Amino acid sequence: MKKLLLALSLSLVLFGCAPTEEVETSSVLKESTVAVSSEAAETVSVTISLTDGGTVIAESEKTVAVEADANLLDVMKENYAIEEADGFITAIDGQAQVEASGETKAKYWLFDVNGEPSMVGAADVALQEGDVIVWNLTEM
């Protein structure tokens, strides 16, 4: 009988000391936070004007505040009435390009950035502080 009691006591001690796993039945909600920059987007000042054959079109010059690196095409759409065809600007504020005919030469909208002809389209020009953009309705 002593052996039986000793065996029973040992088994209780062993089972009592065995590690147990507790399963949590409650769920924990986690909040995700989005880091928001305390700095506002940098704003730059850009001057845009329109010319027809080298003459400034009346009331076309605007100095606008835009986000740094904004693309010129988007800025033009926000500040002028733009017409496009096949990715090219065909009219700005009612001043339309002219196709060549027997009586007239063709005129197309081209633009300069800081006095230099642009080698890329307006959608690829990232605007910076102090940029001067001149759109020229140029006879070809």
Closest CA to 106 of 85, 137, 83, 82: 137
- Judged against a pLDDT cut of 80, whether residue 33 lies above it is answered with no
**Domain of 133, in residue numbers:** 43-139
Name the average pLDDT for the chain: 80
Q: What is the distance between the alpha carbons of residues 78 and 136, in angstroms, rounded to a whole number?
A: 19
Q: How many domains does the chain have?
A: 1
Task: Please indicate, yes or no, if residue 33 is contained in any of the structural domains.
Answer: no
The model's pLDDT over 80-123, given as tens digits with 9 standing for 90+, comes to 999 998 878 999 999 999 999 988 899 999 999 999 999 999 99
Residue 90: the pLDDT is: 95
Which residues have a Cβ under 8 Å from the Cβ of 79 and sit 6 or more positions away?
48, 62, 64
Does 52 fall in a domain?
yes
Indicate whether 97 belongs to any domain: yes
CATH number of the domain at 77, please. 2.170.130.30
Q: Do residues 96 and 83 touch, judged by C-beta distance below 8 A?
A: yes
Q: Which residues contact 93 (CB under 8 A, 6 or more apart)?
A: 50, 57, 60, 80, 81
Q: What is the structure's pLDDT at 87?
A: 76
